[in-house]
Structure 1
Amino acid sequence: MEFMETNVGSRRLRELGRLLLYGSCIEVEWPEHLKALSAGRFAASVCMEREHYNMVGYKLACAVRASSLREVVALTVDGSPHCVQLHTLVEEVRKLIGGFEALHYVIYKGKLYRVEAEDVKLSRYLSKVARLTRGPSLSSQLSP
């Protein structure tokens, strides 16, 4: 099921109250991880390379409200510049609307990893990532 073609008030979505949003390539590349995380959740694919961030975010916000979602799970390929947007989008909607638990998973070299919300937030701040990877001496290099 494609998320952008799903009714935000879908009966099945309302009944489950738990949404798994996954990168569309996961179906073909890692169906075993998709199957494991789909249990008890309404699973819907989204391609952040094809869909605009704002459209997916608005749709998710509407789904959270219309279907009273308790949980939203994001599952993507690690390292994809497009897929990382799905994680930041879920956190942004959670911050704006709240009322649901957000979980994040990535697949790296075929293995499934849980990622914390703090990690997703950090991925938005490259200067912080740089300080973590290169140490405090980088601070002086970042100053104008």
Structure 2
Amino acid sequence: MSAEKEGGSRMVYRLPRAIDLNAASRLIRDKPKLLIVGRCLEAEKPWVLERFPSDEYAKITVCLEAEHVNHVGFKVAGILARVPFKEVAVVTTDGSMHCVQLHFMVEEIFKIMRLEIPRKHYVVAGNELVEVPAEAVRTARYLSKVAKLLERCADSP
């Protein structure tokens, strides 16, 4: 995909889309860690990618506005079954109803596959990269639990 700028064109997206990759692609298999990036961050907040060194992280992108979470989840599970990563990280835009599914998806994959490697969740809030505990991601799936937490906070002095 490209974007026009001052009469010329420049490439906006360079990272591979997860859905387009072979599960053991040469583009990802030689790195110790996997980074799943909300696709728009590459164009909108490219500084985020610099926080994850390319010599450590195989970087793949996902846009859950364009692809169904089940398709992407099956692809990522296939990747994790074939490539022995030492860590999986997800970074998305905070507050996106589509991107939050990437975090839920990774937690679900880890649960189904019983993976025991470290996983990390990050969101970009404004111009800040924030690490989110996996427990927060798991809790966010249950609106009743979130409601009870908010109620407790409101009741606290």
| TM-score, length of structure 1 as denominator length | 0.89
Higher helix share: 1
The 3-state SS of whatever aligns with 2:96 is coil
1:128 maps to 2:145: yes
Gaps of 5+ in 2: 1-15
Q: Which residue of 2 aligns with 1:119?
A: 136
* Residue equivalent to 2:90: 74
**What TM-score, normalized by structure 2, do the two folds share?**
0.82
Cα displacement (A) at 1:16: 0.8
Partner of 2:6: none
C-alpha distance in 2, partners of 1:106/1:19?
Answer: 16
1:56 maps to what in 2? 72
CA distance in 1, matches of 2:42, 2:33: 19
Supply the AA of the counterpart residue of 1:31. P
Distance (whole Å) between structure 2 residues aligned to residue 60 and residue 25 of structure 1: 19
Partner secondary structure for residue 107 of structure 1: strand
Q: Which amino acid aligns with 1:109?
A: G
Which residue among 32, 42, 46 is the counterpart of 1:31? Answer: 46
Q: Deviations over 1:52-101 (max 9, x none)?
A: 11111110110001112221110000100100000010111111111432
**1:119 CA drift (Å):** 0.4
Query: C-alpha separation between the residues in 1 aligned to 2:52 and 2:39?
Result: 14
